[in-house]
Amino acid sequence: MISGTPNWLIRPLLRPAWTYRLARILTHPIVAFAALNLVFSMWHTPALYEGAIDIHAIHFLEHFPMVGTATMMWWPLVSRMPELPRLPYPAQMIYLLGLSIAQIIVFGGLVFSSEPVYSFYENAPRIRGLTPLEDQQIGAVIMKVGGGFLFLTLLIVAFFRWSREEAN
């Protein structure tokens, strides 16, 4: 979404000084990192998670903070605007490493729980004889490994781009 939006379309939104200052704050790596992980963790609390499953309006509303903070999180990595610049490659690598580690709290809670965290899944149909707890644990591992693989791949790409930039 960020890479596909031309700068000329974003620049008019940044003309008022207050929107430019707000955009600078929201796309700052520390703010983006914290916002994404806070929203991600918040929506994995049982009350909100199950509310989003049971009530379509909550599920619909869940997407606004998720997409918003995901956009904030990606900005320091893919921005092409000098006004809201991307991080240098070494900082990108640290940022990506932090992102890969930060969500361990949510995944650890799901993997090491002694009982299912979300009651919805206790009543869900069983697939391949998995218990609700095993299903939760496998789901958490799949999400963590998938996200970790993405962040590790991007970290490696940043490393090689930095290396190539330094060699020139």
Q: Assess whether 104 and 31 both reside in one domain.
A: no
Q: What is the pLDDT of residue 115?
A: 93
Comparing C-alpha atoms, which of 118, 110, 143 is closest to residue 47?
118
| Domain finish residue from 40, 60, 86 | 86
Contacts of 48 (CB under 8 A, 6+ apart): 42, 58, 62
Q: What is the pLDDT of residue 111?
A: 93
| Domain finish residue from 86, 117, 151 | 86
Q: Assess whether 97 and 153 both reside in one domain.
A: yes
Q: Assess whether 71 and 27 both reside in one domain.
A: yes
Q: Assess whether 48 and 91 both reside in one domain.
A: no
Q: What is the pLDDT of residue 44?
A: 93
| Domain finish residue from 29, 57, 86 | 86
Strand partners, 81: 84
Mean pLDDT per 10-residue run, the chain (168 residues)?
93 96 97 96 94 95 96 96 96 95 89 92 85 92 91 96 94
Q: Assess whether 92 and 58 both reside in one domain.
A: no
- pLDDT tens digits, one per residue of 22-59: 999 999 999 999 999 999 999 999 999 999 999 999 99
Q: What is the pLDDT of residue 159?
A: 97
Whole-prediction pTM: 0.87
Q: What range defines the domain where residue 15 resides?
A: 1-86
Q: How many domains does the chain have?
A: 2
Q: Assess whether 65 and 24 both reside in one domain.
A: yes
Q: Assess whether 34 and 114 both reside in one domain.
A: no
